Amino acid sequence: MVDSPATAVERADVVVVGARCAGSATAATLAGAGRDVVVLDAATLPSDTLSTHLLWPAGLAELQRLDALAAVEALGAPRLTRAYAQGAGYGVDSAFPSVEGIDYAMCVRRAGLDAALLRTAVEAGAQVRARCRVTSVVWDANRCAGVRYLDSAGRSVEIRAALVVGADGRRSTIAREVGAEPPFLTVPSGRDCYFAYWRDTADAPRHIAAQWRVGADLGTAFPCDDGLVLSLVQPPSGNDRGRGPGEAERRYTEALTRIPDLTQRLSGCERVGRVRSATGISSYFRRSAGPGWALPGDSGHFKDPVTAQGIRDALHYGRTLAESVVEVLHDPRALDAALSEWERRRVIECREIFHWTNRLARGEVMRPLEIELYRTATDDPDLARITAGIFSRTHRPAELYAPARALGLAVRALRHQRAHLPAVLADMAREVRDSTREWRMTRTALHGNPSHIPAPSTPRSTLTTAGPGEHHA
């Protein structure tokens, strides 16, 4: 195909589509290593985006690695030094595990967080272009070779690059264009997500990140910047209910009334702004790497927000993607091998927290073994520490269910809940079934061998390398 005279053609080492967490982390790391990086985003930057934006210590450690932590802390969000989790009336208070010297969490609104990350990428040397909408991927035979986009003035521009990074979220244009949009593994959530900001009171405990579970409902209170507190609720999904105006407000308010301790935490606070919602959520893995392309962040892998893992993973896998390819960008064979290994590593590292998240996202009434876990953790600091560490990725979910600990929980559940013996026994049987199913999923779809992952479907567009008449802007 001959290039249109109206299309300017540029070259870069890497083009990153999406300028938020994964995109900025990728761009900052590559540009800091001296690579020529162009970042495109369809939005006006900085801008808000739908996100629960809690950063566990592991997420803050990623900001520290990018030299962005000081800029993020300057936004004024308090350091959250205690984690409080209550389930079925049993409250567990614990410190956060330390990750690279960071033993606190933070809840930072996305406009400020994204702006700080973007500045980091620009200061590292990346070119960032806002209001630029990618329309297609450029192909050289079967290799991704760049993108075409419309700039802020509506002009058509083409960028040729050794690597195209699709950091453009769950509805990724790049995933669609390279044929990777259909996930190879999807698990629908049993919860909907609604959240709002409240103006916190002067005497509020702004050092505590708190979560409550009552029946099938889950709610949180995370103090954040500008004197606000983010309160999120995740009731069971309402697939049989309307989606019209006022539905989010109604479901949010109803869920608050079912979580009295959260209502008490917000007593005296003033709601700021509207209720925001995310419904019809599914956790998934997509094929995330191929010849000349990669999908870090939500574009390639997404987990239900119930465990607040998205920002940490976006930062981590954006950074590690950049570190994996920085020395081999112009050796196609070595680049493809590095991309394949990066994809394999992400699947292996994320599969256990993926299973854990999906359990918490079921939207069911608390089960007997879950209740016993909370009851036991109130008097067992080691168990509380492990539970807090799972969210910050310093401990594995399997540590909660080591044979001796699992047996102890089962015995205590039988003793404390003997009036509900059939339910306890049924829960124990279900635990065996769930563990078996997760093991099978890990051994098959999440084996970690890219050759076992279904290849992307046929790309949407093909374009051979342009001839000698192309223009380099």
pLDDT digits (tens, 9 = 90+) for 95-128: 999 999 999 999 999 999 999 999 999 999 999 9
- Omega before 403 within 30 of 0, i.e. cis: no
Short-list 220, 221, 240, 230, CA closest to 280: 240
List the alpha helices (DSSP H) in 326-401.
Answer: 332-360, 368-377, 381-391
On the question of pLDDT at 6 being above 90, the answer is no
pLDDT tens sequence across 61-75: 999 999 999 999 999
| Stronger pLDDT, 242 or 55, i.e. the higher one | 55
Dihedral sign, Cα of residue 26, residue 31, residue 35, residue 41: positive
The residue to which tokens 């094929």 are assigned: 287
Report pLDDT for 471.
28
Report pLDDT for 139.
97
Q: Please state the length of the chain.
A: 473
On the question of pLDDT at 439 being above 80, the answer is yes
Residue 134: beta bridge partners? 149
Short-list 12, 254, 293, 276, CA closest to 128: 12
Dihedral sign, Cα of residue 393, residue 396, residue 397, residue 400: negative
What lies within 8 Å, CB to CB, of 331 at 6+ separation is none
User: Residue 7: pLDDT band by 50, 70, 90 thresholds?
Assistant: confident
User: Residue 400: pLDDT band by 50, 70, 90 thresholds?
Assistant: confident
pLDDT tens sequence across 189-206: 999 999 999 999 999 999
Report pLDDT for 419.
86
Task: Output the pTM of the full model.
Answer: 0.92
The residue to which tokens 């969000």 are assigned: 77
Dihedral sign, Cα of residue 397, residue 399, residue 404, residue 405: negative
Q: What percent of the chain lies above the pLDDT cut of 90? A: 80
Mean pLDDT score, 178-187: 96
Residue 173 C-alpha from the chain's centroid: 18
On the question of pLDDT at 472 being above 90, the answer is no
Report pLDDT for 452.
64
Pairing label, strands 156-166, 143-150 = antiparallel
CA separation, residue 165 to residues 260, 291, 309 (Å): 45, 11, 21
* Cα 434 to Cα 430: distance, rounded to the nearest angstrom: 6
Q: What percent of the chain lies above the pLDDT cut of 70? A: 92
Average pLDDT score, the chain: 91
Query: Position 464: which residue type?
Result: T
Short-list 238, 324, 256, 338, CA closest to 35: 324
* Cα 397 to Cα 319: distance, rounded to the nearest angstrom: 24
3-class state of residue 99 by DSSP: strand
Report pLDDT for 463.
46
Structure tokens at 271: 């709601």
Report pLDDT for 238.
80
Report pLDDT for 403.
77
Pairing label, strands 127-129, 133-140 = unpaired
Helix (H) or strand (E) holding 425: helix 421-443
**Residue ranges of E strands in 33-80:** 37-40, 54-55
Torsion of CA 187, 192, 198, 204, to 10 degrees: -60
* Cα 109 to Cα 225: distance, rounded to the nearest angstrom: 7
pLDDT tens sequence across 311-344: 999 999 999 999 999 999 999 999 999 999 999 9
